[in-house]
Amino acid sequence: MSEAATIYEVADTANVSVRTVSRYLNDPTCVSKKTSALIVEAMRSLQFRPSKAARALKGVKPNLIGVVSDRITTSPDSFELIKGLQLAAKDLGKRLLIAECAGVEDEVPPLIDELIEHRVDALIFATHFHRPIDRALLDLAAGTRLVLLNCYAPRGDHPSVLPNDEQGAHDGLAHLYALGHRRVVVFELFPDMRATQLRHRGCVKAARDAGLHEPVFVQGSQGALAGDEFAAIDALVGQVLLEHRPTALFAGNDKMAARIIQCLHKRQVAVPSQVSVLGFDDHAMLVHATDPPLTSVRLPYLQMGRRAAEVACDETASGTFRERCDVQVRASVEAPPRGRAR
């Protein structure tokens, strides 16, 4: 883009008035096709692009969706969110402007202000973890359509798109029950996480639906250290094997599941012939890296991204949209050894 090129040079090159160029920038349909072609050719030859101020002229529709995220653009397991957003935006004839605050909430207000200055048609606020959003952040987008992705407003006054964690945990445990497992231990993530609470509820419901006792719940993130949220997992696995003699372990995420498999191998416990292991997330970089490949409940990030863009462009859409979390079957889970099911 040439900084020297101005609207006056475009008008001179196209042999039209400055007013005509201004009218074209404001609304191309107000200028004849012949004149539009002259202006477009002049702009191209001069490498001129309208400034943000020019695009803000009344009547111009930029067809932009603004996305503010905490750190989904730098988190490998959230890339599918962005892919889903991009695919849906393309289908809808929109473009994305993505702003990343890198987990620093103080950076969010200026990012929202900047996107609104670009006159985005809607804003999507996306988070790496399923969590509530502070009311003050929501108020920053007043007057602009706002959709929450992987997060939600405490009072539910903005559309939100979430994974159905409760259903996913229910179906994951139901899958183990259907294979005949009865001694299942669930390794949970941090108790203050919304996903942990919902998944706990899903497991309890799965047991009730099957007419079985609840599984044993243990805190898989206990003893967490900086940079290692599962620092105590090896000792915990040993304790669980000794006290509960499980035939299946259901981990809070795939990182934990991979560590559990390592701990079982260390103890010469065969997976899955002696103990099955089920993960949660269906992390593409992990599920095929374990030995054996990991059965996991998929977080539907691609579908969530698609849905968020669609909801952002539909002024009538409201409420909470929960996307299914389906079990992805691989070799780390099988029926329990004969005689050990109960």
For the stretch 147-189, pLDDT in tens is: 999 999 988 789 999 999 999 999 999 999 999 999 999 999 9
Decide which of 132 and 51 is more confident: 132
Helix (H, G, I), strand (E, B) or coil at 225: strand
Dihedral sign, Cα of residue 54, residue 57, residue 61, residue 66: positive
Give me 309's structure tokens: 């863009």
User: For residue 150, is it left (φ>0), alpha (ψ between -120 and 50) or beta?
Assistant: left
Could you tell me how far CA 81 lies from the centroid of its own chain? 4
In the numeric block, the tokens 């996991």 are attached to: 296
For residue range 76-114, list pLDDT tens digits in order. Answer: 777 899 999 999 999 999 999 999 887 777 888 888 888
Half-sphere exposure for 204 (CA within 13 Å, toward CB): 7
Give me 260's structure tokens: 């559990």
Starting at the edge strand found earlier in the chain, the sheet holding 276-281 runs 216-219, 184-188, 248-251, 276-281, 295-298, 327-328
Does position 227 have pLDDT exceeding 80, yes or no? no
Confidence band (pLDDT; 50, 70, 90) for 57? very low
Largest CA distance in the chain: 90
In this prediction, residues 275-285 reach a mean pLDDT of 96
Rounded CA-CA distance 2/24 in Å is: 20
Q: Residue 2's pLDDT is what?
A: 40
Q: Residue 1's pLDDT is what?
A: 36
Which DSSP category does 59 fall into?
A: T
Rounded CA-CA distance 185/231 in Å is: 19
Rounded CA-CA distance 62/150 in Å is: 26
Confidence band (pLDDT; 50, 70, 90) for 49? low
What is the Cα Rg of the chain in Å? 26
Helix (H, G, I), strand (E, B) or coil at 229: coil
In this prediction, residues 53-59 reach a mean pLDDT of 49
Q: Residue 339's pLDDT is what?
A: 65
Q: Which domains does the chain have, with CATH numbers?
A: 7-55 (1.10.260), 64-163+302-323 (3.40.50.2300), 165-299 (3.40.50.2300)
Check if the beta carbon of residue 27 is closer than 8 Å to that of residue 60.
yes
Q: Residue 7's pLDDT is what?
A: 84
Distances (CA, A) of 316 to 41, 62, 114, 141, 143: 40, 21, 26, 18, 15
Residue 114 pairs in a beta bridge with none
Check if the beta carbon of residue 252 is closer than 8 Å to that of residue 280.
yes
Helix (H, G, I), strand (E, B) or coil at 149: strand
Rounded CA-CA distance 290/235 in Å is: 20
Could you tell me how far CA 317 lies from the centroid of its own chain? 19
Helix (H, G, I), strand (E, B) or coil at 62: coil
Rounded CA-CA distance 77/300 in Å is: 11
Rounded CA-CA distance 179/336 in Å is: 7
In this prediction, residues 314-340 reach a mean pLDDT of 93
Does position 301 have pLDDT exceeding 70, yes or no? yes
Confidence band (pLDDT; 50, 70, 90) for 342? low
Check if the beta carbon of residue 202 is closer than 8 Å to that of residue 168.
yes
Query: Which residues are CB-contacts of 226 (< 8 A; sequence separation ≥ 6)?
Result: none
